[in-house]
């Protein structure tokens, strides 16, 4: 296992096959998780996974990991890391939007309750409060 995945990937100039050609790590961050065409992180991860599996199934007798195995595994791990990061960011954004909507609903309900309390006051109490505000 590589201690610092991104250090290894940048020092070894890993490239990632995509529908638009090879990408470096910086470009990989700009690729969408999903898309209507084949230019997305899922397609890149599938390609990297297939390359890694093909390399690891070369021999059933020779199980020693070569530099090629390490490179392919690191490439797959980088793509999986970026996918997970983007999925977590999507989930956080969704939760934030849900919380904002819920907060707005609660504020609206609070305003309705406060308006209900005001309408429950008698005419005399309302006039008194209005006069109190005018004198301040």
Total structural domains in the chain? Answer: 1
What pLDDT shows up at residue 49? 95
Tens of each residue's pLDDT in the chain, 136 residues: 578 999 999 999 999 999 999 999 999 999 999 999 999 999 999 999 999 998 877 666 766 778 888 999 999 999 999 999 999 999 999 999 999 999 999 988 888 888 888 778 788 888 888 888 887 6
DSSP code of residue 16: B
What pLDDT shows up at residue 78? 96
Show the tokens assigned to 30: 């700009």
Q: Are 12 and 71 in contact (CB under 8 A)?
A: yes
Tell me, yes or no, if the pTM score tops 0.95: no
Cα 135–chain centre separation? 55
**17 vs 134: CA distance, rounded Å:** 73
**50 vs 42: CA distance, rounded Å:** 12
Q: Which domain holds residue 100?
A: 5-135
């Amino acid at each position: 296992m590589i201690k610092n995945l991104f250090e290894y990937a940048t020092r070894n100039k890993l490239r990632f096959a995509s529908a638009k050609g090879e990408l470096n790590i910086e470009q990989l961050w700009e690729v969408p998780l999903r898309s209507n065409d084949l230019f997305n992180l899922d397609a890149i991860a599938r390609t990297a996974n297939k390359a890694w599996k093909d390399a690891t199934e070369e021999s059933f007798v020779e199980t020693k990991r070569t530099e090629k195995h390490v490179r392919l595994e690191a490439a797959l791990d980088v793509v999986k890391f970026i996918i997970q990061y983007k999925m977590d960011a999507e989930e956080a954004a969704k939760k934030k939007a849900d919380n904002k909507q819920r907060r707005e609903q609660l504020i609206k309900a609070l305003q309705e309750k406060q308006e209900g309390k005001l309408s429950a006051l008698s005419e005399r109490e309302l006039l008194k409060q209005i006069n109190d505000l005018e004198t301040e």
